[in-house]
C-alpha cells in the first residue's frame, strides 16, 4: 500500500483554520501507524511547521486583543 500523506499546500496555509484542518488530517495519518518511516518523518515535519504557524497566528490575535482591551476597557471602580 502506497498511501501518501495529503498535503493541502506546500507552504504557509491560507488561514489558521486551514492549518488546523491539515494538522488534524496529518495526526490521523500518523496515528494510524500505516505510514512508512520516510512519510512519517515528513508528516511530523509538516506538523511542526503547521503548529508553529498556528502559534504565531494565535499570538498575533492575543496581542490585538490586548491592544483593544487597553483602549476600550475602563476599570469599574475608579472613584474612592
In a domain, 46, yes or no: yes
Residue 1 domain-assigned (yes or no) = no
**pLDDT reported for residue 73:** 57
Within-domain flag for 5: no
Enter the pTM of the model: 0.70
Per-residue pLDDT of the chain (80 residues; tens, 9 = 90+): 444 444 444 689 999 999 999 999 999 999 998 889 999 999 999 999 999 999 999 999 988 888 887 776 555 565 44
Residue 56 lies in a domain: yes
Is the residue at 31 inside a domain?
yes
Distance CA 69, CA 80 (A): 23
Q: Do residues 48 and 40 make contact, with C-beta atoms less than 8 angstroms apart?
A: no
Which domain does 42 fall in, by range?
A: 16-68
3-state secondary structure of 12: coil
In a domain, 79, yes or no: no
**H helices within the chain, ranges in order?**
16-32, 37-72
Number of domains in the chain: 1
pLDDT at 32: 92
Say if 7 falls within a structural domain. no
55 inside domain: yes
CB distance 42 to 29 below 8 Å:
no
Amino acid at each position: 500500500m502506497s498511501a501518501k500523506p495529503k498535503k493541502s499546500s506546500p507552504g504557509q496555509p491560507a488561514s489558521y483554520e486551514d492549518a488546523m484542518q491539515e494538522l488534524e488530517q496529518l495526526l490521523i495519518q500518523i496515528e494510524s501507524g500505516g505510514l512508512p518511516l520516510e512519510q512519517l518523518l515528513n508528516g511530523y515535519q509538516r506538523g511542526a511547521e503547521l503548529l508553529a504557524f498556528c502559534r504565531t497566528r494565535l499570538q498575533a490575535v492575543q496581542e490585538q486583543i490586548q491592544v483593544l482591551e487597553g483602549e476600550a476597557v475602563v476599570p469599574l471602580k475608579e472613584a474612592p
